[in-house]
Structure 1
Amino acid sequence: MPTYVYKGLESGEYFEVEQSIHDDPLTHHPETGEPVKRVIQPVGVIFKGSGWYVKDSRSQNSAGKPGNQEKSKSKTTESASAAD
């Protein structure tokens, strides 16, 4: 079960509550009855392995690659000189 962090609106006290993901957020402290608000916590994610890069998701014949741009430039210059 996930653990959620709450903050008391009057006292500023932080406390944790283990709740089901389907439960509604608490509006009052379970012991004191003080109004509370759920605090959003950063997610602890660890990426393991050799890595993943933006270039891994692009297709092999992408126009953004430097090699493809050079080829297209040389083709246009060849066709322009042949037309003269």
Structure 2
Amino acid sequence: MSYSYLSHLDCPQCGETYGADSIQQLCVCGSPLLVRYKLDILKEEWSREALLGRKPDLWRYHELLPVLDCNNVVTLGEGMTPLLEIGEFITKR
């Protein structure tokens, strides 16, 4: 199983495609790039059970993040954000 199922970057404006192995923020036309993943392969190789036992942070979903090598992960210790019912929020104010 791969650390990331990143496939490539592409431009929604002009259709230019960029490899996933180089840092590229904007297309030559100036448009922001979209990240594309190998979702068909991920669907075959990954299961929900893969999340069990992982730390509760953003990187638990590394298969769908644009970082190919775990040695390039940068974190500030961010964790999961809890979801609250709107009524719960209003009554606590």
| TM-score, normalised relative to structure 2 | 0.27
Structure number, greater radius of gyration: 1
Structure showing the higher strand proportion among its residues? 1
